[in-house]
Structure 1
């Protein structure tokens, strides 16, 4: 009896006998060694996907095998004849753009043709399949998968080059056929977890260029494209040279574009942890601390610093200043963070992204917290209102583990202890009420001076009166 795929069995009624046969076949053919490995490109887990599934679905272009035959926007439309027709048209349109990108690549690089690329990718197809959860797509033919990835790799490389300002043959076509809003959406789709292709395929595509005499040249070229991509999509105010170089120097060790961005925002200047160190640094029950306006009422102020790393949070106990990386919250910020969370939660033995989001969730509880952080230069919002920004931070920690890194736990404890001292709140209230306005400070100083002078005159008068012979 032929096998019945799981999704088919769930959507249609089958007999108990068929179901038993299906389970037996699955047990006999299951490769437990393959299941044991962790693919680097996978579908987001149900708890995260159920919150906002459209944040994991490509909006303009499908890259890789997961969404290839479905097209962009496929899960955002109601199921009817018209939307099915539109999805087919959208998918075909982007397929044509991919073909054109490859044709321009062929015209630029001597000796390259589509067949040779497919053959090259086919030779590495086992390594490619290891990066995917192959149970989630039905592409059994190695040649078909290589065909998909060859077109996608050429398209991604050419678009990244255009995005970085590299003038190549495809550049004119790209600028004329893709409006600026569409270009932005293209790049945003390139960083989705389910829309990735293995980075070593991009390296192979770049290495075909005549300008890349060695593998190191290809890594340098891809590193430059990653740097420009990070500058466009990351919401932090600064992208230090060291943080990008740490990725560029080891770009061949990265899994895909999202992995590159993850390393930039979490490790920066080449910082690295072993799995054992990372596991030891995870705090299971993180300290909860007051929201931003309550911290401010206790005498703590905030200062935004130029940094691209999430772990750039530090509390100066003497000055009562909380230093945090500046971040601009825009339309795509939530989407980026959701994909970083999904990737970190299942592949990385660290919790830097989750720690940062839990920290911000404690700090921001309402629009007044957002307004305070904007005033102090920590936040900048581009999505309409402070209420929307506050809601975004509160949503991002839903359905995630309640853990944090040792770095954030230390800062949280310092903030909690500072708020525990009553005198800190009283001192802060005195400063705000009496010392925050210059004219009020002058008035208080003048009154204190007058009072002191009156006291001195009174004492002097008494001394003269009591002096012998003063009468």
Structure 2
């Protein structure tokens, strides 16, 4: 027993402390098991979690081509880049929520190759003059589309600070002095995110730059940009019988695209429900799942979690989605896919009854729907005044009814 106790004690002593500053996580198996392809890269690995996997090795040669292009523009030697990373190795390892079992040399080489791949990828997207006819990614749209989505997988992240610092180091000695003069890593990253990701996750044009310096990595940057524009007064959510868009429409609620570009800024005021515009694409679910997973694992307030729950109640059927399409809140597309997306995502969300960000809006919607006058007015408008001809017919019928009444009254007086 003493020998066994010594062995176990040794294992306990050798445990690595969990770094407080970690921000890059491996998705829990309970979350991954139902949709593993949404969290696992199939084309390119970035960072240590999937480094060296056989099915991802084909992209390693392309990464090195990008590294070669990058080095050809700067006078900084490759040994200087490696030494620069070496000095920050401990800090880099501490960004990951688990021990990275790569030797120092392998880890440093991996960081350089992957970091420069991202830098060069954004540079080529920002400045087409940097591309070549032989470019294996930006020259082939199908490969580019796969790569761009995998850059935003939670398990495929590198800390932003090392990307930014390596870019700045390269700028210190360029073969052409004005080559990167007015370009920063923030500039090219935000240009790419705004150009290629905005359709999947609408973000106000200035929020990327505002939050860039605080962000730990790309997924963190998206979460920071999704924080509500103003704090909401929270009240306990007592009744989760949230009316759908169709039910709200029948109760007389009007719908309009949100005045804010923040996807989460749903508002209700004076009978008008504002929902920010969104379009659902084939890769939307994958992006949303990674944002949700990071929000939960990093301990952020569940704003995106609450948005998914709210939208799941509002867009319950294709008819709900159709009404939002008619009101230019959802981009044209498959109205069957929208409710399905939120139903699926909602299964991974948890509602906090005491701190649900839309509780006030829900209470106001429920109160609005309970007033009979709103429903009567909506029924009258939707069924009898929905077209000019219907309105004319109703008015004519009312006039005819009034004339009949007057004639009857006159007849009775004559008697």
TM-score strictly above 0.5: yes
How far apart are 1:36 and its partner, in Å? 6.2
Matching of residue 69 in structure 1 with residue 69 in structure 2: no
Q: Summarize the Cα distance change of 1:351–1:171 in structure 2 as closer, same or farther, 3 Å threshold.
A: farther
1:109-124 to 2 correspondence within 5 Å? 109-110=74-75, 112-124=76-88
Deviations 1:352-383 (A, max 9, x none): 1101101111112222222222222222255x
Q: Summarize the Cα distance change of 1:291–1:20 in structure 2 as closer, same or farther, 3 Å threshold.
A: farther
Structure 1: give runs of 5+ residues left out of the alignment. 1-15, 72-86, 467-471
SS across alignment from 2:313: helix
Deviations 1:250-305 (A, max 9, x none): x232101111122223356xx7x8xxxx9x96968784402221222222232223
Quote the residue 2:398 is aligned against: 448
State the alpha-carbon separation in 2 of the partners of residues 211 and 304 from structure 1.
46
Quote the residue 2:72 is aligned against: 107
Matching of residue 39 in structure 1 with residue 19 in structure 2: no
Quote the residue 1:386 is aligned against: 335
Quote the residue 2:164 is aligned against: 203
How far apart are 1:113 and its partner, in Å? 2.7
Structure 2: give runs of 5+ residues left out of the alignment. none
Quote the residue 2:344 is aligned against: 395
SS across alignment from 1:323: strand
Deviations 1:81-126 (A, max 9, x none): xxxxxx2xxx33211111111111111112x232221110010111
Kept after mapping to 2: 8 A contact 1:303/1:322: yes
Kept after mapping to 2: 8 A contact 1:299/1:427: yes
The alignment's C-alpha RMSD in Å is 3.2
Kept after mapping to 1: 8 A contact 2:23/2:298: yes
Matching of residue 94 in structure 1 with residue 59 in structure 2: yes
How far apart are 1:153 and its partner, in Å? 0.5
How far apart are 1:69 and its partner, in Å? 1.3
Kept after mapping to 2: 8 A contact 1:328/1:381: yes
Of structures 1 and 2, the larger Rg is shown by 1
Kept after mapping to 1: 8 A contact 2:208/2:221: no
Quote the residue 1:292 is aligned against: 245
State the alpha-carbon separation in 1 of the partners of residues 156 and 332 from structure 2.
27
Quote the residue 1:79 is aligned against: none
SS across alignment from 1:303: strand
Kept after mapping to 1: 8 A contact 2:18/2:98: no
State the alpha-carbon separation in 2 of the partners of residues 286 and 235 from structure 1.
33
Question: Number of paired residues?
Answer: 409
Q: Summarize the Cα distance change of 1:371–1:177 in structure 2 as closer, same or farther, 3 Å threshold.
A: closer
State the alpha-carbon separation in 1 of the partners of residues 369 and 2 from structure 2.
66
1:184-333 to 2 correspondence within 5 Å? 184-210=145-171, 220-235=184-199, 239-247=203-211, 251-267=212-228, 287-305=240-258, 307-316=260-269, 318=270, 320-333=271-284
Q: Summarize the Cα distance change of 1:162–1:36 in structure 2 as closer, same or farther, 3 Å threshold.
A: closer
Quote the residue 2:119 is aligned against: 157
Q: Name which of structure 1's ranges 395-404 and 452-461 shifts more when overlaid on structure 2.
A: 452-461
Deviations 1:18-51 (A, max 9, x none): 99776443322224xx326252101112332122
Quote the residue 1:438 is aligned against: 388
Tell me the TM-score normalized by structure 2. 0.87
State the alpha-carbon separation in 2 of the partners of residues 164 and 380 from structure 1.
27
Q: Name which of structure 1's ranges 445-454 and 190-199 shifts more when overlaid on structure 2.
A: 445-454
1:343-354 to 2 correspondence within 5 Å? 343-354=294-305
Q: Name which of structure 1's ranges 114-123 and 401-410 shifts more when overlaid on structure 2.
A: 401-410
State the alpha-carbon separation in 2 of the partners of residues 179 and 122 from structure 1.
34
Q: Which of the pair is proportionally richer in helix?
A: 1
How far apart are 1:178 and its partner, in Å? 4.3
State the alpha-carbon separation in 2 of the partners of residues 453 and 37 from structure 1.
82
Kept after mapping to 2: 8 A contact 1:289/1:362: yes
Kept after mapping to 1: 8 A contact 2:250/2:375: yes
SS across alignment from 2:129: coil
Kept after mapping to 2: 8 A contact 1:118/1:143: no
Quote the residue 1:13 is aligned against: none
